[in-house]
A and B are shown apart, each in its own frame.
Chain A
Amino acid sequence: DAKTTQPPSMDCAEGRAANLPCNHSTISGNEYVYWYRQIHSQGPQYIIHGLKNNETNEMASLIITEDRKSSTLILPHATLRDTAVYYCIVRGKLTFGQGTILTVHP
């Protein structure tokens, strides 16, 4: 299973875009990249996933590099309620790492 690396924490101003990076240099060709988040004291929540192409849904956008060794989750207009731990996971790995603690401040 491919390993992922994320910065431990990031800050973002409310209303600005939050760009959360993830490295997955050992990803194999058929492994998807998934993003989840966990708001304090709640269960993890699915955000988005992708294989090769960039993806967008109502919550976020996912940009995957052409070599697929890294990706970026973009929250276009962060709100205070987006403060959470964000996990980048490669399909097949059923353990969430430490993720990135995103703090959105006023």
Chain B
Amino acid sequence: DTAVSQTPKYLVTQMGNDKSIKCEQNLGHDTMYWYKQDSKKFLKIMFSYNNKELIINETVPNRFSPKSPDKAHLNLHINSLELGDSAVYFCASSQNPRTGGWETQYFGPGTRLLVL
């Protein structure tokens, strides 16, 4: 059974489009995260949700909007896609208090987004 799953695995789209990436975890964790890994391979936190509540929101354009329908899901919606949004997006989850601090995180396989 896949612990943290993401769909789609690959996403190729045109500039200006709106797209969503879905993430689900079946580990019973309370906290989920979205990370972006750019072409230089730096992996940076974007958002973190604890029990459907936003607890971390890094300096990310407001074109990016996370949505958590329940604690097992954290979807990422991106409006008006730009060339610079091309990257690999990773979802992760952990069992930790709402402080948003680190505990052992389990990552999904990533979604490779290419904006043309």
In this assembly, does A24 line the interface, its C-beta being within 8 Å of a C-beta of chain B? no
Given contacts A43-B92, A96-B43, A98-B42, contact A49 B101 (CB under 8 A): no
Segment among B60-68, B79-87, B103-111 that sits at the interface with chain A: B103-111
Whether B102 lies near A94 (C-beta < 8 A) is yes
Distance in angstroms from A29 CB to nearest chain B CB is 15
Residues of A within 8 A of B106 (CB): 46
Contact B41 A44 (CB under 8 A): no
Report chain B residues within 8 Å CB of A42: 109-110
The CA-CA distance from A91 to B45 in the complex, in Å, is 13
A27 close to chain B: CB less than 8 A: no
**Are B108 and A43 touching (Cβ within 8 A)?**
yes
Question: How far, in angstroms, from A87 to B42 measured CA to CA in the complex?
Answer: 11
Cα(A37)–Cα(B50), bound, Å: 24
Residues of B within 8 A of A49 (CB): 104
Q: How far is the CB of B11 from chain A (nearest CB, A)?
A: 15
Q: Does B41 lie within 8 Å of A98, measured CB to CB?
A: yes
Q: In chain B, what residue has the closest Cβ to A30?
A: B101
Answer whether residue B115 sits at the interface, using C-beta atoms and an 8 A cutoff: no
Complex: chain B residue closest to A43, CB-CB? B107
In the complex, A85 Cα to B107 Cα: how many Å? 15
The listed residue (A43, A85, A97) touching B109 by CB distance below 8 A is A43
Contact flags (1/0) for B18-44 with A, using CB distance below 8 Å? 000000000000000100000001111
B49 at the interface (CB under 8 A from A): no
Where the two chains meet, the residues of B that have a C-beta atom closer than 8 Å to any C-beta of A are 4, 33, 41-45, 48, 56, 58, 90, 92, 101-102, 104-110
- Which chain A residues have a beta carbon within 8 Å of chain B's beta carbons? 32, 34, 36, 38, 41-46, 49, 85, 87, 89, 91-92, 94-98
**Closest CB pairs A-B (n = 6):** A43-B107, A94-B45, A96-B43, A91-B102, A46-B104, A95-B44
